[in-house]
Amino acid sequence: MNFLKRSIISIKRRKGKTIILFISILLVCNVIAGSISVKKALQNTEKNITNSMPIELKPVIDYDKLGSKDPVNLTEDIINKVGKSVYLKNYYYSFNYTLTSDNLESADGGMILYKDYYMGLDTTSKIRYDSEAYFTINGTNTNELKEIKNGKIKITSGTVYTKEDIDNGNNVIIISTELAQKNNLKVGSIITLHKKIEDYSTGELRVLKTISEDYKIVGIFEAETNKIKDTDGNVVNETNPLANYIYMPNKTVSIIHDKIVKAVTELNIEEYDNFNVTATYQLNSIDDLENFNNDNLKILPYAYKFEDNSSLYNNTLGPINSIEVISNYVMYAAILASILIIGLISLLFIRERKHEMGIYLALGEYKKNIAFQILFETVIISLLAVFISIFTGNLLASNISKNMLESKLSNSNNEEIYYDEYGYQTNYDTDEIMSDYNVNLDYTTVILIFLISIGSVTISSLIPIYYTLKINPKKILM
């Protein structure tokens, strides 16, 4: 009849006390389990949102500070120097340019660039007056494209160019499905893109020189499109905003751009150059924003600043964080309450059993065995209570927290939608967050609930154990 057997006999024979303790543990463990489930669900939702909407900073010119001075361009050296910051998860930079083609037709997309638009002659009409199609060139410093990582595009045919292509500046490109279909192109096809150096000085358009390069298509991408409602109220897909974007390595963009600059210099004319460099830095955490700015602002050229999306981030994640704070408080309060409630109930029951405890002491039982007996009795009762709580707490928390989150989101003006430079929606609206929010039971949640609940019960057992070990058997038994 060791202490473990004694624990089991006590649980079986003292049914009323066992049931009271079981119900008490069940109640507090439900709150603990619920708050942990909600916390985990919120963390998962936050993680999903953060992954698809990371904290980003972009170096931009501060025109107020620049005044009448000429801006200095960002260089690869500066971008890479900032890119070494310890606060970064990732960084991308892109050489952006515009090239044309006589042979290709632009895809029907939302961002078709027409010559009129560029020349400032007609910014409203989308009717082409000549045979040239304009394409936006998006250079990349890596073959792990940001747009693929954040799910904006996916490669449907071929692959992304290789690291070797990036290092060597090979003439390899990725085009959209729409552009490929419009021009009957596929992976392996060669297309020619060019830049015409033109002169308007005489009042007539004269092409002075054409710089051309042939590019091999290595991949075709399909882009995510925003969903909108048409005039009948039906949800339809918008046209692809990246339909006329062509991806190629930064060095490849640089090579054709250098040739054009050289030709313009040789022709000794003034030519509008829309080549520009943009960089995007993704932070590990929004908490690093201030430190990153402090460390890296001084590296940027004069009159540059970092523009960040923290307000957008806070707007989306604010309600989630506030519910997470509440769930944390509920969890800590429940742990404390469980320790006190279970501890005091156990103490009351042990006081009723002080004769029994005195007998064990009088018989010379080891104090550690008496402590283990009390602990086992509570833990054995808890095991079933915690097991049930894992499911019931999860169910209760799921319903309550969904209502709370929905209410918080609707109060935080989260219905407002923000778009990026491509026309993509950048923030999550209430429906998207709610569809992403799921209070599920994964094994880590179950283990966490189990450990915290049993831990609380174990700590609560210290109160009756302390009382028991202080018992003087002589006073009780004689």
Region from 8-16, 19-27, 143-151, 294-302 binding other proteins, contact rule CB under 8 A: 8-16
Stretch 121-150 residues interacting with other proteins (CB under 8 A)? none
Does the protein bind other proteins through residue 235 (CB under 8 A)? no
Q: How many H helices and E strands in the chain?
A: 16, 12
In the set 9, 190, 228, 333, which binds other proteins (CB under 8 A)?
A: 9
CB of 351 to other proteins, least distance (A): 15
CB of 373 to other proteins, least distance (A): 11
Cα separation, 149 vs 160, in Å, equals 12
Measured from the CB atom, is 5 or 163 closer to other proteins? 5
CB of 2 to other proteins, least distance (A): 5
Site string for other proteins, 14-43 (x = CB under 8 A): x-----------------------------
Segment (H or E) for 191: strand 190-199
Does the protein bind other proteins through residue 374 (CB under 8 A)? no
Residue with tokens 């174990």: 458
Retrieve residue 338's tokens.
């469980």
Region from 198-206, 396-404, 433-441, 466-474 binding other proteins, contact rule CB under 8 A: 466-474
Measured from the CB atom, is 360 or 376 closer to other proteins? 360
Measured from the CB atom, is 154 or 355 closer to other proteins? 355
Specify the DSSP class assigned to residue 62.
-
33, 259 contact by CB (below 8 A):
no
Stretch 313-372 residues interacting with other proteins (CB under 8 A)? 355-356, 358-360, 362-367, 369
How many amino acids of this chain bind other proteins (CB under 8 A)? 24
320, 42 contact by CB (below 8 A):
yes
306, 58 contact by CB (below 8 A):
yes
Q: Helix or strand or coil: residue 441?
A: coil
CB of 1 to other proteins, least distance (A): 4
Q: Helix or strand or coil: residue 85?
A: coil
Region from 294-302, 338-346, 374-382, 467-475 binding other proteins, contact rule CB under 8 A: 467-475
Does the protein bind other proteins through residue 6 (CB under 8 A)? yes
Cα separation, 461 vs 429, in Å, equals 47
Question: How many Cα atoms are found within 13 Å in the side-chain-facing hemisphere of 469?
Answer: 15
349, 18 contact by CB (below 8 A):
no
- Answer left, alpha or beta for residue 282, where phi above 0 means left and psi between -120 and 50 means alpha: beta
In a 10 Å sphere around its CB, with 0-12 CB exposed, 13-18 middle and 19+ buried, how is residue 166 labelled? Answer: buried
In the set 86, 127, 207, 478, which binds other proteins (CB under 8 A)?
A: 478
Does the protein bind other proteins through residue 473 (CB under 8 A)? yes
CB of 10 to other proteins, least distance (A): 7
Retrieve residue 400's tokens.
């309550």
CB of 5 to other proteins, least distance (A): 8
Residues that bind other proteins (CB under 8 A): 1-2, 6, 9-10, 13-14, 355-356, 358-360, 362-367, 369, 472-474, 477-478
